[in-house]
């Protein structure tokens, strides 16, 4: 299994993408995951659908609701990881809100992640200050909780979050939800520099990055970028060739 560290050390323009597990049914979402991997993404987020995704815009909300209509549960996320491991060693991350993880049992989640080769987890609605017990359970299972930093995060809080980070730091590049705004390159550059005062952990920018030009521009200021909503939109429109173009193949 390839590790986050090796990706950031070896790739000049790291691109992370996202699949909503169960969107269109399990097989369709697995096929989409394979497509993204074979198209050249460097790290893949496996999205757990949730009915009230506070950090996500309409595109990911609709994808999640479609997945829920197909009865998607956390077991399907682990099953997708197991299927991906049959053909790829790409680093995997779970993206999930806290409620499904709490209901399943977070220690059990971490055990399943370790068993299925999932290195990290992003929990958008878990405040850093409330996460110590979760971080301990994750560390015991060799799982990394990926911390999020906003453009508006205070200096004292930024130092705490950055100093305790592992894997990579997710810099929310807009002052809002996913897929609704265009990030400001200068603001992202300034925040990335602030983060790097406190840690050597790679910084990844996400929310609002949509084009190949964005990938190149933002990768000059951070260690990687995330594209999720835009690829879902293109998939919905049947324009998968444009996804490949943005990825760079």
One-character DSSP codes across 124-154: TT--GGG-HHHHHHHHHTT-EEE-EEETT--
Which of these CATH numbers, 3.30.1330.40, 3.40.50.2300, 3.40.50.720, 3.20.20.70, describes 4-146+218-247? Answer: 3.20.20.70
Average pLDDT, the chain: 93
Task: Please tell me the least confidently modeled range out of 44-53, 98-107, 142-151, 179-188.
Answer: 179-188
DSSP line for 119-130: -EEE-TT--GGG
pLDDT of residue 176: 55
Average pLDDT over residues 156-171: 95
pLDDT digits (tens, 9 = 90+) for 225-246: 999 999 999 999 999 999 999 9
pLDDT digits (tens, 9 = 90+) for 14-28: 999 999 999 999 999
Q: How far apart are CA 25 and CA 12, in angstroms?
A: 34
Q: How confident is the model at residue 12 (pLDDT cuts 50, 70, 90)?
A: confident
What is the chain's length? 249
pLDDT of residue 159: 96
**Closest residue by Cα to residue 80 from 8, 23, 128:** 23
> How far does the chain reach from its first CA to its final CA, in angstroms?
23
Per the DSSP assignment, residues forming a β-bridge with 43 are: 16
Average pLDDT over residues 99-111: 97
Q: Give whole-number Cα distances, 95 to 50, 119, 123, 184, 243, in Å.
A: 10, 12, 6, 24, 21
pLDDT of residue 13: 86
Which positions are annotated as active-site residues?
45, 56
Burial of 139-171, coded b for 16+ CB within 10 Å and e otherwise, reads eebebbbbbbbbbebeeeebbbbbebbbbbbbb
Q: What are phi and psi of 17, to 5 degrees?
A: -130, -170
At residue 104's C-alpha, the angle toward residues 99 and 110, to 5°, is 100
Q: Tell me, rounded to whole angstroms, the distance of Cα 172 from its chain centroid.
A: 11
pLDDT of residue 249: 59
Q: What are phi and psi of 226, to 5 degrees?
A: -120, 130
pTM assigned to the model: 0.94
133: exposed, middle or buried (Cβ count in 10 Å: 0-12, 13-18, 19+): exposed
pLDDT of residue 106: 98
pLDDT of residue 37: 98
- The answer to whether residues 27 and 232 touch, using CB atoms and an 8 Å cutoff, is no
Task: Please tell me the least confidently modeled range out of 9-18, 36-45, 73-82, 186-195.
Answer: 9-18
**Closest residue by Cα to residue 132 from 154, 108, 161, 96:** 161
Q: Angle at which helices 106-115 and 132-140 pack, to 10 degrees?
A: 30
Structure-token pair, residue 221: 């200021």
pLDDT of residue 179: 46
């Amino acid at each position: 299994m390839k590790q986050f560290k090796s990706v950031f050390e070896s790739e000049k323009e790291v691109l992370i993408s996202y699949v909503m597990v169960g969107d269109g049914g399990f097989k369709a979402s697995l096929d989409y995951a394979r497509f993204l991997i074979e198209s050249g993404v460097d790290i893949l987020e496996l999205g757990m659908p949730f009915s009230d995704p506070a950090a996500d815009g309409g595109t990911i909300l609709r994808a999640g609701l479609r997945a829920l209509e197909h009865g998607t549960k956390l077991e399907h996320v682990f099953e997708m990881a197991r299927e991906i491991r049959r053909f790829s060693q790409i680093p995997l991350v779970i993206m999930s809100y806290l409620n499904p993880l709490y209901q399943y049992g977070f220690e059990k989640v971490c055990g399943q992640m370790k068993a299925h080769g999932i290195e990290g987890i992003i929990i958008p609605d878990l405040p850093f200050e409330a996460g110590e017990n979760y971080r301990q359970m994750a560390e015991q299972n060799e799982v990394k909780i990926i911390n999020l930093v906003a453009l508006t995060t205070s200096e004292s809080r930024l130092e705490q979050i950055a100093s305790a980070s592992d894997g990579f730091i997710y810099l929310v590049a807009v002052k809002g939800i996913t897929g609704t705004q265009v990030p400001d390159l200068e603001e992202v550059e300034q925040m990335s520099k602030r983060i790097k005062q406190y840690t050597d952990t790679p910084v990844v920018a996400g929310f609002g990055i949509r084009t190949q030009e964005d990938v190149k521009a933002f990768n000059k200021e951070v260690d990687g970028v995330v594209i999720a909503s835009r690829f879902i939109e293109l998939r919905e429109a049947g324009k998968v060739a444009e996804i490949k173009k943005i990825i760079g193949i």
